[in-house]
Structure 1
């Protein structure tokens, strides 16, 4: 039970909750954008003004495949926006930080902890190390 309590009071849980709420609102925004602009624009070229109106009936059961097409377009737009405006820039930033970190740190030969390249003694195991020359 203490593990669950610890999980509940972590800062990550609050961040996750905020991310879920923002994601839901963002999804609604993309869906509204798709319905208001993208679907009519595709209707200009494809001749179908609203995908949501598309359906077929089989044995008195109506299959509204047009609503699925609208949702599919929303999904693709959401995924593209998230990738190009969040994932791709963040991966570039993280890559830059990791390159900077690699240039300033190394592994202690005695305890394998991460230490500065300029260090003469490991802060973790206190072993003496030979400093490396940087740039």
Structure 2
């Protein structure tokens, strides 16, 4: 049981996931700070309120409906989505498209495993090319003419 747990913990994708969660939490703190300390006061000033959370409050039967707080959460989400798209998704899509274009041009072979037979054939062809004398080309290629 402990061996299985050790294999699970040391598996690469679990460690990558842990790193992603930590970075995500730190990134969320930065975005939340930007929204709370920069965007909320600007929008709050527009609505003559100290913060966005206290702006656009509607009281209905003694309950406060805080449209400003919802707007702040939406802004927070949009900032995170924009940064994730332009920092991670868009560049990775560009790399994939470039690799696909190269693959279509024949520069990069499609994903197929190289076998020993492929390697031996390539070595044979290279050795044959080194051992055979170069063939004359051009106007004086045939000595009888």
TM-score range, shorter chain: 0.5 to 0.7
Q: Which runs of 5+ in 1 are unaligned?
A: 108-112
Task: Give the structure with the higher percent helix.
Answer: 2
Cα deviation digits, residues 30-89 of structure 1 (max 9, x gap): 111012112233345x43442210322223322323222111101101101111122111
TM-score (norm 1): 0.66
Say what the alpha-carbon RMSD is for the aligned residues: 3.3
The higher radius of gyration belongs to 2
Matched residue, 2:47: 47
Cα deviation digits, residues 18-41 of structure 1 (max 9, x gap): 111111111111111012112233
CA distance in 1, matches of 2:110, 2:35: 50
Find the partner of 2:107 among 79, 103, 110: 103
CA distance in 2, matches of 1:13, 1:120: 34
What is the number of residues matched between the two proteins? 118
Find the partner of 1:63 among 62, 65, 73: 65
Q: Which runs of 5+ in 2 are unaligned?
A: 126-145
